Amino acid sequence: SRVVSLAVIPGDGIGPEVVTEAEKVLDAAVAGTEVTVEKTRFSLGAGRFLETGDTLTDEDLAAIKGHDAILLGAVGGVPGDPRLKGANIERGLLLKLRFELDHYVNLRPSVLYPSVPGPLADAGAVDFVVVREGTEGPYVGNGGALRRGTPHEVATEVSVNTAFGVERVVRHAFDLAEKRSKKLTWVHKTNVLVHAGSIWQRVVAAVAAEHPDVAVDYLHVDAATIFLVTNPSRFDVIVTDNLFGDILTDLAGAITGGIGLAASGNINPDGAFPSMFEPVHGSAPDIAGQQKADPTAAILSVALLLDHLGLAEEASRVTRAVEADIAARTGAARTTSEIGDAIAARLQA
């Protein structure tokens, strides 16, 4: 038998609603197997901040580090809530976890399932994965402000790119391409961001030389958004910088039937720290508390989690249950928990 320790961070808004369903499906996936999941819940997010003033305490961070994996719903309050002024939940909690746990691979698969109504008239077969760099780029928080509030205010957000950081994520993407269709597109903005672009260009060229069977293609990020809409089936593995990957993956979610289906894993491939699985979407304050959220993205994140833990059979059972549920969707409205129940029931059957 095998015990998996899981830190669960339901978070804010629809986070707790979708995590409840993800846990339901996880429990159903391991029921009757050798695997037992031991969960610890962490109350973190805007709600916790409003109650206690804490964003992420050292104690919570240390406790989270002691787990095998993390399941997160979504964090963040209503944008503009004056009570959250200075809280910075996104940076102080979500990005802090990604950085402290060295989640340098942010894995974001996109599949257009048959029968899913997408916005594209003739999308073709869409099945690609974005490998988004997770610990560098403009997200590092290397910036500052001068003369705040004056007409001469200056703000900087400096993108930090290291040869080490670029190489490890690019290597991971090539390894993934070897296991998939041997096709890799790297996306940047080398025509403008020449310094970072140069590191990416040289690293990709060097790693590509070790993978002569992988077809390599480059797109500027603006052009990548065109092709994601006009010809998404041209993509298989996309590797890109942290900010470009953030933007491309919301677009990828939109073209594959909506953000309610888009799953992700923040991976520490070395296994030194627990990896963290979460839907691509946020806390959706506009629909929170109404059982309107689609929990499928959170449930597919559980499949990524199981796969990461080496439980490939359980992972593919979850994916198949989701595929069957999606195929059976009629367009009639279902509550968040009805969708979770239906997917869990397919696993029990």
Q: For binding to ligand IPM (CB under 6 A), which residues are involved? A: 76, 90, 94-95, 246, 280, 282
Is 285 annotated as contributing to ligand binding? Answer: yes
Clarify whether 246 is annotated catalytic: yes
Our CB check for ligand NAD shows the closer of 281 and 308 to be: 281
Residue 326 neighbours by CB under 8 Å, 6+ apart: 113, 115, 116, 261, 296
Return the one option of Mn ion, ligand IPM, ligand NAD, none that residue 151 interacts with (CB less than 5 to 8 A, by type): none
Torsion region of 310: left, alpha or beta (phi above 0 gives left; psi -120 to 50 gives alpha): left
Beta-sheet pairing, 35-41 with 137-146: unpaired
Return the one option of ligand IPM, ligand NAD, Mn ion, none that residue 95 interacts with (CB less than 5 to 8 A, by type): ligand IPM
CB of 214 to ligand IPM, least distance (A): 27
Clarify whether 54 is annotated catalytic: no
Query: Which of 184, 187, 190, 161 has the alpha carbon at shortest distance from 171?
Result: 184
**Chain residues in the site for ligand NAD (CB under 6 A):** 14, 18, 74-77, 79, 90, 94, 259-260, 278, 281-287, 293-294, 297
Residue type (1 letter), 80 = G
d(CA 295, CA 327): 16
Query: Which of 53, 38, 49 has the alpha carbon at shortest distance from 7?
Result: 38
Our CB check for Mn ion shows the closer of 73 and 340 to be: 73
Clarify whether 113 is annotated catalytic: no
d(CA 247, CA 283): 17
Return the one option of ligand IPM, ligand NAD, Mn ion, none that residue 10 interacts with (CB less than 5 to 8 A, by type): none
Residue type (1 letter), 349 = A
The binder of Mn ion chosen from 246, 294, 307, 325 (CB under 5 A): 246
Residue type (1 letter), 159 = S
Is 348 annotated as contributing to ligand binding? Answer: no
Annotated binding residues for Mg(2+) = 222, 246, 250
Annotated binding residues = 98, 108, 132, 222, 246, 250, 282-294
